[in-house]
């Protein structure tokens, strides 16, 4: 069973622990903007929808913090997720 998403600020990445492995999104912060550079799900965990869950929960956490943070989806997978789920488009930096 997947654990809860955490924001490991020291490592600049969101992490989701699953069966002893870590799915992650690396980011770089510049002021109030998070550049979401890379999403990764270990191959052994592929095909379970964890990448989608990881992106959705990451964006939900960013929104829920209420800090007015914006994202730049550098990673093609994250960018594609936002294009398919326009309810998250408001989080994108202009």
pLDDT digits (tens, 9 = 90+) for 56-78: 999 999 999 988 999 999 999 99
Average pLDDT over residues 38-60: 94
Please state the domain extents for the chain: 6-91
Structure pTM?
A: 0.92
Strands (E) in the chain, as ranges, are: 6-8, 13-18, 21-30, 33-40, 70-73
pLDDT confidence band for 2 (50 / 70 / 90): low
Closest CA to 32 of 64, 5, 59, 72: 72
**CATH number, domain 6-91:** 3.40.630.30
pLDDT at 1 over 60: no
pLDDT of 21 > 70? The answer is yes
CA 86 from chain centre, in angstroms, equals 15
Give every CB contact of residue 39 below 8 A, 6+ residues apart in sequence: 23, 24, 25, 51, 54, 55, 75, 77, 78
Scanning the structure block, which residue is given the tokens 């992490």?
A: 15
């Amino acid at each position: 069973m997947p654990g809860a998403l955490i924001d490991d600020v020291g490592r600049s990445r969101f992490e989701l622990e699953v069966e002893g492995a870590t799915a992650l999104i690396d980011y770089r912060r510049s002021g109030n903007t998070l550049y979401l550079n890379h999403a990764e799900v270990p191959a052994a965990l592929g095909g379970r929808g964890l990448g989608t869950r990881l992106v959705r929960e990451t964006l939900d956490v960013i929104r829920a913090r209420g800090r007015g943070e914006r994202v730049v989806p550098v990673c093609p997978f994250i960018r594609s997720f936002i294009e398919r789920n326009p309810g998250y488009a408001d989080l994108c930096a202009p």
